[in-house]
Structure 1
Amino acid sequence: MEAILFDRRVELVTEWELEQRRRQRRFRAIVGGVAVTLLVVGGAGGALMLFGDPGRAAERESAVRAQQRMDAFATAWEKGRWAAAGKLTDSPTSAASLLASVHRNLAPTAFTIEVGRPSASERDDSTSVTFPFTVRLKVPRVGPFTYGSRARVVETSAGREVVHFESSTVHPELEAGQTLAVAKMSTRGSVLDRNGDVLSTPSLVGRVDENGVGVSGLQKRYDEQLGGSGQAYAIAITDRQTGHAVKPLQRTGTTRHGEDVRTTIDPGVQRAAAKALEGVATPAAIVATQPSSGDILAVANRPGGYNRALVGEYPPGSTFKVVTAAALLRTGLRPSDPLDCPRFEWVNGYRFTNQDEFVLPQGSTFRDAFAHSCNTAFVQARDRIDDAALARTAAAFGIGGTWDTGVGTYDGSVPTNSDVNDKAASMIGQGRILASPLVMASVAATVKNGKFVQPRLVPEAVRHPYRAPESLDPGVVDDLRSMMRSVVTEGAGKALRGLPGRPHAKTGTAEYGDETPPRTHAWMIGYQETSDIAWAVLLEGGGSGGSDAGPIAAAFLRNLSGSGPS
C-alpha cells in the first residue's frame, strides 16, 4: 500500500477549475454555528485546498482530518494494533474484537491495506465521507486473497472524525455475529430429505468419525457414495459462536465431492413425529409411511442412537390382531358375528386373560372384540384357522419377507404354529411373533392401500422390492377398514376421537420378559382416511396401547395437521 501520510500532497486549483466541478456533491461543515458548503475533491493525497472563503478553509480542514482518520485506522489495522484501530471508530470494542478475530483465524503471512480516494459519488452531503479501500492478504493453505470494501468517516456532534464501524467494514459480506476464517471444506456428500434439504435425524443418518468415514446409519451404508476425496480449504464467512462456515468466499484444492443420498423423509411429517416424542420418558419410536408408494415419511426415535423404529424386534401384541382378523375373515367370519369375550380362556393348562381382566357383555360381536382388544375372544377363535394360516396371512402383509428399502430394517417374523399354546399366543401377537414399528406401520398401510407395497427409504437404491406372495380379498380389506375405524369410535382408541382425518387404528399391549406381572410394550398403529399416511407408535415398557401409546399418536396427528406429505 502507499505509505500512510498525514502530510499528503494538497492539490491547488484555480477558480476556473473549481467552477467546472460545481455539479459534484457537496460536503457540509459547521463552522462557528453557521452551515457553509465546500466542494471536496480527492487528489493523490485526498483534500482540496481552497482560498478566499474562511468557511471553505474550515471545511478543507475537516476533509483533511477525515482522510487522516481513515489513514490512521488502516495503519493500525494493518499493523495489528486492534485496540488502537478500535479507538478510531464509533464502536471501539466491537471493532477491536472483530479485527483481532479475522487476523487470528486467517493468520496471514502478508497483509496490506490500500486506501483509495473518494469519488464524487462516494461523498455524502452531510458530515461524512466514504473511502474505498483494498485488502490484500496471503493466507496459509489458501493463497492470495484480495477484496475491496468501504469505510465511512463521520463527524461526531463534538466535531471529531471517527470511522463508522460495522461488520461489513471488514468485509462487505460480513454480518453481525460473523467473522472470516479458514475452513476445511467437506468433500462428503449429504443425506437429504425428499425436498433435497440436509436431513438431521441422527439415529437414521448415522455418524461420521474423525477421519470422515461413516460408522453408523446411512452414513455407514452409503459411505462409498457419500465419501469424496482430496482436501480443499476456503476463506469463509463463519459464525463466531458455532464456528460453522456460512459461505465460502475463496477456495483452493483438488477434490472429488461425494454424491448425496436422497431419502423419502418428509420434513413436515418428521417434525410432527419428533415433536410428539418430546418429553416422553421411556424409549419410544414413531414411523410414518405413505401407503400408496411405500415411502417412509418419518423415523423418530427417543432417545436417539438406536434406530428401534426400523430395526427393533418386539412382540406386536394386539396390533397383530389386524392380521389375525384378516385370517379369520378369510374363513367367512363376519364383523357382526357373535364372539364371546370372557374374563379368562384356558389353553392346555395356560390361562389367557384380558388387560385388567375385563369382559364384554353377552351378545358381543367380532367387531366388538376387535375394537376393545379382547384377547380371550381371539384365543377362542383359534380353531377356525389351521396352524399355517397366520403365517400365510402375514405374508400377504409383507411380514417376514426380505425387504429392499435402501436401509437396514427388521422385516418381522411369523412362524408356522408349532403347538396349540403357540397358536393361541400367536392369535394375539405374542409367542414367537416379532415385528418392528416399521412393519406394523406397513400393516396399517396395507389396509389403507388395499394391498402390500414395500416400504422404501432410499428409492434409487431399491433394486428388488419385495412383493407379497398373495393378496387380500377386497371384501376382507373393507371389513378391516370398518373394524379399525370402530377402534377409534367405540373402542380402545378413544384418544384419537375428534381428530381430523378420520383416523383408523388398532391398539396393542404386548407382554415380554419373565417378571410377574409381566412388563409390557404399548403400541398403536393406524392410518388417516383422508390423507395418504399410515403410522405406528411404540412405547417400550410403556403400559397399555390405548392409554399410553394413544396420547402420543394423538399428539402426532395433531402436529401433522397442516403439514402432511408433500
Structure 2
Amino acid sequence: MDTERVSAGSGVGTEYGRGGRRTQRVRTIVVGSLIALLVVGGVSGYFLLNAPIHADARQDETVTQAEQAMRTFTKAWTTGDWKGAATLTNSPTEAESLLTSVGKNLQPTAFTIDVGNGVAERPDRSGGPVVVPFTVRMTVPKVGAFTYTSKARIVQTTGTPLVTFAPTMLHPQLKAGQTLAVAKMSTRGSILDRNGDVLAAPSLVGQVDEQTGKGVSGLQQRYDKQLGGSAPAYAVAITDRESGKALKPLRKAGGQVGRDVHTTIDAHVQSAAADALEQAVTPASLIAIQPSSGDVLAVANNPGGGFNRALVGQYPPGSTFKVVTAAALLEKGLQPSDPLQCPQFEWVNGYRFANQGEFTLPSGSTFRDAFAHSCNTAFVRSRDRLDDDSLSETAKAFGIGGVWDTGAGTFDGSVPVNTDVNDKAAAMIGQARDLASPLVMASVAATVKSGRFVQPRLVPEAIKHPFQAPRNLDPQVVSDLQSMMRSVVTDGSGDALRGLPGEPHAKTGTAEYGEEKPPRTHAWMIGYQQDADIAWAVLLENGGSGGSDAGPIAASFLKALGPK
C-alpha cells in the first residue's frame, strides 16, 4: 500500500514533481560547472599573471632601443658634436676622425637626418643586431642641396646599443682612406684629335674664359654649348684623404657633363707643322689635308693664339693660283710642251707686269717651264686664251667660292668673274680680286693629288651638307697638272724640296699687297706628297718670296713628317 501511495502520489504530481526534480538537477550541474570554471579560471589567471614576457615583445624593445640610439647619434652628428657622436659607436677614434673630416670639408647647413624603422637581422632571436635606415639632407656651399640614403647596424654589446661605425655607414660609396669633400669638377668636354687625345693646337682649339667657363675663341667658342654641358662646376666627391684628389663626383641627377669634340687632326702631322713654323720671323700658317678624305690633318699658326689665319685668313694667293690658271689654259687646249714666251715685262693698258727679280726665260721655253719657274709675264700674255668667266668657272672645280661645311669657321675663297682686261691680267697670277685662305690653297693641291675636289672637314660629326664641286677636272688636265707641279720641284722655283723623299709636288707663290712702293709681299708654297696621302700649304705674311722663304719651312715640315 505504501508503495502504491508513493506511486499514486508520484502519478498525481508527475509534471510538477518531475519538473521540480529536473530543475534541481540542472541547478546542481550549473553550480558544479561554475565551480569548475572558477577553479580553472583561477589557475589560468595565475599563469597569465606570472607567465614570462614573450620573445616578440623583447624584439620590439631591442628595435626601439636601436632606433633611439641612432637618433641620438645623428643628433650629435648634425649639430657638429663629432666627438659626442663618435662615443656612441663601436669605434670612437675612427668615427670622430671621419665625421670631423666630412664636417669640415662640406660645412653643411640645413643639415637633417631622418631615421627610419629598424629591422632586426635575426627576427627569431631577441637582443641581436638591428639595421636602421636613414636619409641625410644638407645644403653644401658651391654645391647646393645634397641628399642620400644609408643604413647603420646597431649592436648591443654590454647592454648599451652602439652604432657599428664604418665608412660605408657614413656614405654607402665611401671606402677606407676616403672622405667626402667639395671638388671643382672637370665638367667641360675636351677637343680631341683623331686618336682621341686632347688636341694641342692653341689657335685652333681657342680659349675658355676662366671666370665664366665659356669658350671665347676657336673651337671652344664654336662648340661651347656641347663642351660646357649642364652639370654644375662643383660637386660633393668621394675624395682620397691623403692626397685630397677627387675620385668620384656624386652629382645631382639630370646634370650632364660636356661632350668632347672630335677633330680629324693627326697629332704627328700637327707637331711637324708647328715645329716647322718655329723658324718663321713673321706671322705664318701651315695647314695639311688628306686628299682622299678631305680630313684636315694639321692647322698650325705662329703666333699660336688669336686669329686663325690658316682657316679664315683672306689673302691674294699669288702664283700658287697659277695651278687654277694652268687648269683653265689646259682646258682651252694649251699643252705643257707648247712654247710660251717669258719676257721681262708685259704691258696691259699702260700697266706693267714683271717677274720677281725681273727674270726672263730663254727663247723656246714652254708652258711647263713658265709654270715651273713661276713666270708672271708668260701667264699674263696668255690672258686672251680665256674668257672673262674662265678663271671663275675653273676655280669652282677646285671648290673655290663654294660654301664649305667643315665643322669650323672658314674662308672658302673668292674668284669673281673678270670685269676688264686689266682685272683678268692680274687675276691670271693670283692678284686683283682673287682671294684665298691657306686652307683653300691646300685644298687646291689636294684636288690635283686626288683628281677631284673633296671638301675639307675638321669636325666630321658636325658636318651636315658638305660642298660638292659642280664639276670635276678632266683626267688629262689633272695628269698634266701633276707633272707640272713635279717640275716645280725638280727644275723650278721649288728647289727647297729637291731631293726630299716622298716625291713632293709643289707650286710657289709671291703675292703683292698694299699700296707701298715697292709693294710688300706674302710668301706661299703649296704641294703634296706623291707617296703619301697628304697635301699642304704654307703662308708667311709679309714674308718675302715663296721659293726662298716659304720653301724652307715646307721642307722642314716634310722632313719632320718623314716618309709614310
CA contact (8 A) 1:181 1:238 kept: no
Question: What is aligned with 2:312?
Answer: 311
Aligned 1:15-54 pairs, distance under 5 A: none
Q: Tell me which residue corresponds to 2:381.
A: 380
Between structures 1 and 2, the one with greater helix share:
2
CA shift in 2, pair 1:181/1:487, >3 Å: farther
CA distance in 2, matches of 1:341, 1:182: 74
Per the alignment, residue 230 of structure 1 pairs with 231
Counterpart contact for 1:521–1:538, Cα < 8 Å: yes
Q: Does 1:525 align with 2:526?
A: yes
1:238 to 1:561, Cα distance in 2 relative to 1, 3 A: farther
> Which position in structure 1 is the counterpart of 2:424?
423
* Alpha-carbon distance, 1:279 to partner: 3.6
Shift of 1:369: 0.4
Amino acid at match of 1:298: A
Cα distance in 2 for residues equivalent to 1:331 and 1:109: 80
Tell me by how many angstroms 1:109 deviates.
Answer: 6.9
Which residue in the other structure is 1:191 paired with? 191
Question: For residue 125 of structure 1, what is the aligned residue in structure 2?
Answer: none
Show CA shifts across 1:504-549 (max 9, x none): 0000000000000000000000000001000000000000000000
What is the percentage of aligned positions where both structures have the same residue? 71
Residue pair 2:229, 2:258 contacting (<8 A) in 1 also: yes
Query: Tell me, what secondary structure is at the counterpart of 2:382?
Result: helix
Q: Distance in 2 between matches of 1:387 and 1:197?
A: 48
2:306 is matched by which residue type in structure 1?
G
Q: 1:423 to 1:181 in 2, by over 3 A?
A: farther
**Do the aligned partners of 2:329 and 2:386 also contact (CA within 8 Å) in 1?**
yes
Secondary structure of the corresponding residue to residue 520 of structure 1: strand
Whether the 8 Å contact between 1:181 and 1:237 is mirrored in structure 2 is no
Look up the equivalent residue of 2:300 and give its one-letter code.
Answer: A
Matched AA of 1:483: M
Q: How many Å separate the matches in 1 of 2:316 and 2:284?
A: 14
1:281 Cα deviation from its structure 2 partner: 1.8
TM-score by length of 1: 0.67
Please state if 1:289 is matched with 2:289. yes
In 2: Cα distance, 1:230 partner to 1:492 partner:
56
- Residue 402 of structure 1 aligns with which residue? 403
What is the one-letter code of the residue matched to 1:312? G
| Preserved contact between residue 183 and residue 235 of structure 1 (Cα < 8 Å) | no
Report what 2:274 is aligned to: 274
Please list the CA deviations of residues 162-185 of structure 1 after superposition, one character each: whole Å capped at 9, or x if unmatched: xxxxxxxxx9999xxxxx996400
Deviation, structure 1 residue 315: 0.1
Preserved CA contact (<8 Å) 2:398 2:453: yes
TM-score if structure 2 supplies the norm length?
0.67
Separation in 2 of the partners of 1:226 and 1:260? 6
Shift of 1:186: 2.2
The 1:559–1:392 alpha-carbon spacing in structure 2 relative to 1, beyond 3 Å, is same
Q: Structure 1: how far apart are the matches of 2:242 and 2:220?
A: 26
CA contact (8 A) 1:107 1:140 kept: no
Matches of 1:476 and 1:172, distance apart in 2 = 73
Deviation (angstroms), 1:217 = 1.4
User: Which string of whole-angstrom CA distances, capped at 9 and with x for unpartnered residues, describes residues 119-144 of structure 1?
Assistant: xxxxxxxxxxxxxxxxxxx9987999
Residues 329 and 181 of structure 1: CA distance in aligned 2, closer, same or farther (over 3 Å): farther
Q: CA deviation at 1:435?
A: 0.1
Secondary structure in 2 matching 1:230: coil
Q: What is the CA distance between 1:204 and its match in structure 2? A: 1.0
Change in CA separation of 1:432 and 1:181 when aligned onto 2, cut-off 3 Å: farther
In 1: Cα distance, 2:450 partner to 2:261 partner: 28
Q: d(CA) in 2 for partners of 1:296 and 1:554?
A: 19
Question: Displacement of 1:259 after TM fit?
Answer: 1.5
1:65-84 aligned at under 5 Å gives the runs none
Unaligned runs of 5+ in 2: 1-92, 109-137, 148-174
User: Which residue does the alignment assign to 1:535?
Assistant: 536
> Following TM superposition, where does structure 1 have runs of at least 4 consecutive aligned residues deviating by more than 4 angstroms?
106-110, 138-144, 171-174, 235-240
Q: Which residue of 2 aligns with 1:251?
A: 249
Partner of 1:477: 478
Aligned to 2:153: none
Pairwise CA distance, 1:238: 12
For 1:107 and 1:259, locate their aligned partners in 2 and report how far apart those are by CA, in whole Å.
29
Structure 2 distance, partners of 1:495, 1:181, is 60
Asked if the contact 1:444–1:527 (Cα under 8 Å) also holds between the matched residues in 2, the reply is yes
Distance 1:183 1:534, change over 3 A: same
Q: Deviations over 1:19-52 (max 9, x none)?
A: xxxxxxxxxxxxxxxxxxxxxxxxxxxxxxxxxx
Measured on the aligned residues, the alpha-carbon RMSD in Å equals 3.2
Q: CA deviation at 1:468?
A: 0.7
Indicate how the Cα distance of structure 1 residues 518 and 230 shifts in structure 2: closer, same or farther if over 3 A, else same.
Answer: same
Of the structure 1 ranges 553-562 and 506-515, higher mean CA displacement relative to structure 2 is found in: 553-562
Q: Report how far residue 211 of structure 1 moved.
A: 1.6
Q: Does the 8 A contact of 2:177 with 2:242 survive in 1? A: no
Question: In the alignment, which residue of structure 2 is the partner of 1:460?
Answer: 461
User: Any idea what SS the aligned residue of 2:527 has?
Assistant: strand
The AA in structure 2 aligned to 1:327 is A
Cα drift, residue 251 of structure 1: 2.4
Map 1:72-111 → 2, pairs under 5 A: none
**Partner-residue secondary structure (3-state), 1:291:** coil
Task: Give the residue type in structure 1 aligned to 2:247.
Answer: L
**Partners of 1:173 and 1:498 in 2: how far apart?**
62
Equivalent residue number for residue 54 of structure 1: none
Q: Which structure 2 residues correspond to residues 108-507 of structure 1 after superposition, within 5 A?
A: 183-209=183-209, 210-231=211-232, 232-233=234-235, 234=237, 248-254=246-252, 255-303=255-303, 304-507=305-508
Q: Whose radius of gyration is greater, 1 or 2?
A: 2
The offset of 1:205, in angstroms, is 1.3
Once residues 512 and 312 of structure 1 are traced to their aligned partners in structure 2, the CA distance between those partners, rounded to angstroms, is: 14
Matched residue of 1:256: which SS? coil
Q: CA deviation at 1:355?
A: 0.2
Between 209-218 and 414-423, report the one with greater CA deviation.
Answer: 209-218
SS in 1 for 2:325: helix
Could you tell me how far apart the structure 2 residues matched to 1:183 and 1:525 are?
A: 49
Q: Distance in 1 between matches of 2:482 and 2:262?
A: 33
Higher strand share: 1
Shift, 1:222, TM fit: 1.4
Rate the CA distance shift 1:380–1:173 in 2: closer, same or farther, 3 A.
farther
Distance in 2, Cα, partners of 1:239 & 1:545: 59
The separation in 2 between residues aligned to 1:238 and 1:554, in whole angstroms, is 53
Q: Distance in 1 between matches of 2:300 and 2:241?
A: 31
| Whole-Å separation in 1 of the counterparts to 2:548 and 2:142 | 60
Task: Tell me whether 279-288 or 475-484 shows the greater mean CA deviation.
Answer: 279-288
Aligned residues of 1:344 and 1:352 also touching (Cα < 8 A)? yes
- 2:520 & 2:329 partners in 1: Cα distance? 28
Q: Is the 8 A contact 2:106 2:182 kept in 1?
A: no
- Hey, what does 1:34 align to over in structure 2? none
Letter in 2 for 1:381: S
